[in-house]
Amino acid sequence: MTKRENGYGFVMPALVLLSFVTVYPIFYVFYLSLHRKLLIFDISKYVGLDNYLFLLQDDRFWNAMKNTVYFTAVSVSLELLIGLSLAILLHRSFRFKGLVRAIVLIPWAIPTVVSARMWEWMYNTDFGILNYMLGAKINWLGDTFWAIHAAILMDVWKTTPFVVILLIAGLKVIPQELYQAAKIDGAGNWAIFRRITFPLLRPVILIVLIFRTLDAFRVFDAVYVLTGGGPANTTETLSIYAYKVLFQTLQFGYGSTLSVTVFLFIGCISIFYIKILSKEMR
């Protein structure tokens, strides 16, 4: 049609900022990962891929990887299952819907750090309310088995509402008449869910999966504040390990290597999901 005016002036500031503050650092962190660099002493030595080779046999890295994958898999599955059930239960209109929605958003809205400390107090072995209600004396944050599950439970608490809201929005798009037609065609509740609701919800579920998987894989705030990565590194996720190497041991070289690894994994997961998503869109 008509020749449209240039938009480069409008787009430039954003692109410039993004390039300098995110893209350039990514290149820089790649660069750092090939060095041995101790920040305080300003020692910097190029070591090629040595850091990466070290990483491959770094037990603590593999432990962090295991923790992260476990955390991600269990959290995301739980959030999706609980979120889907709740969304189906709640997507009708009712009085006070706005009020309930607002309350449901609170876990999402409060800083992760605040909720971590909240749960930390609830998980307190001696004085925490959780143990009181269960009548138990479980050392939630100090037991090597329980700690990661405590972290998962807290993460699920915080993000399930977000999942519910997104899924409800997806459910709203499905016309009521399809359910009516299916009932008339003889479909029972389970058949309706399996053949109508779920297939039509798949794109939204996929998007939720993408967001949540990436977020869970990158997790730092919640777990760092809740357990600091302990006890005995059972809750040390990749991001926490990288952080500790960077800012506690000040090894910016190896720390960058770890960061780059996380980045590459996230990249692979994203590409994987995007491929599935574009196939879904067809």
Partner 1 sequence: MKRGVFYFSIVLMVLYCSGPFLWQFITSLKPDYELTMIPPVISKNPTAIHYVSIFREHPFLRIILNSAIVASSTTILSLIIGSSCAFGLAKLRVKYKSFILGFILSVSMFPPIATVSPLYIIIRALGIRDTWLALVITYTTFSLPLSIWILTNFFKEIPDEIYLAARVDGCTPYQIFYKIMLPLSLPGIFTTAILVFIFSWNEFLFALTFTSTPASRTIPVAIALFPGLHEVPWGDIAAASVVVTIPLIFIVFAFQRRIVEGLTSGAIKG
Partner 2 sequence: MAGIRFDKIRKRFKDVTVIKELNLPIHDGEFFTFVGPSGCGKSTILNMIAGLEPVTEGKIYFDNTVVNDLTPQERDVAMVFQSYALYPHMSVYENIAFPLRMKKVQIKTIDEEVKRVAALLGLNDLLQRKPKELSGGQRQRVALGRAMIRKPKVFLMDEPLSNLDARLRIEMRAELKRLHQDLRITTVYVTHDQAEAMSLSSRIAVIYQGEVQQCGTPIEVYLKPANIFVGEFIGSPPMNFIKGTVLNIQPLKINLNGIIISPLLETSIGKTSVIIGIRPEDIPITDKKSDESIEVTVALIEPAGSFNWVDIEWNNVRIKGAAKVDADLRAGCKAFMKIPIKKIVIFDADSGKRF
User: Rounded to an integer, what distance in angstroms lies between the CA atom of residue 225 and that of residue 133?
Assistant: 24
Q: Which amino acid is at 1?
A: M
To partner 1, the closest distance from the beta carbon of 211 in angstroms equals 8
Work out the angle at residue 178's Cα, subtended by the Cα atoms of residues 92 and 101, and round it to the nearest 5 degrees. Answer: 20
Residue ranges in 153-212 that form contacts with partner 2 under rule CB under 8 A: 175, 177-178, 180-188, 191, 195-196, 199-200
To partner 1, the closest distance from the beta carbon of 195 in angstroms equals 21
Q: Which is nearer to partner 2, 38 or 182 (CB)?
A: 182
Given 49, 53, 110, 268, the residue binding partner 1 (CB under 8 A): 110
Among 6-14, 51-59, 140-148, 174-182, the segment contacting partner 1 (CB under 8 A): 6-14
To partner 2, the closest distance from the beta carbon of 68 in angstroms equals 35
To partner 1, the closest distance from the beta carbon of 190 in angstroms equals 16
Residue ranges in 137-166 that form contacts with partner 1 under rule CB under 8 A: 157, 161-162, 165-166
Residue ranges in 67-106 that form contacts with partner 2 under rule CB under 8 A: none
In the chain, what's the furthest Cα-to-Cα distance?
76
To partner 1, the closest distance from the beta carbon of 16 in angstroms equals 9
Among 46-54, 123-131, 142-150, 179-187, the segment contacting partner 1 (CB under 8 A): 123-131
Paired tokens of 128: 């925490």
Chain-centre distance for alpha carbon 230: 20
Q: Which does 252 bind (CB under 5 to 8 A by kind): partner 1, partner 2, none?
A: partner 1
Confirm if 132 and 51 have CB atoms less than 8 A apart.
no
Q: Does 14 bind partner 2 (CB under 8 A)?
A: no
DSSP state, 146?
H
Q: Does 44 bind partner 2 (CB under 8 A)?
A: no
Chain-centre distance for alpha carbon 204: 16
Q: Which is nearer to partner 1, 74 or 165 (CB)?
A: 165
User: Rounded to an integer, what distance in angstroms lies between the CA atom of residue 242 and that of residue 263?
Assistant: 11
Residues 6+ apart with CB under 8 A from 49: 34
214, 258, 256, 210: which is closest to 236 by C-alpha? Answer: 258
Q: Does 221 bind partner 1 (CB under 8 A)?
A: yes
Q: Does 115 bind partner 1 (CB under 8 A)?
A: yes
172, 168, 155: which is closest to 100 by C-alpha? Answer: 168
Q: Say if residue 231 is preceded by a cis peptide, omega within 30 of 0.
A: yes
Q: Does 170 bind partner 1 (CB under 8 A)?
A: yes
To partner 1, the closest distance from the beta carbon of 232 in angstroms equals 21
To partner 1, the closest distance from the beta carbon of 198 in angstroms equals 17
273, 138, 151, 169: which is closest to 213 by C-alpha? Answer: 273
Confirm if 43 and 37 have CB atoms less than 8 A apart.
yes
Binding-site ranges for partner 2 (CB under 8 A): 175, 177-178, 180-188, 191, 195-196, 199-200
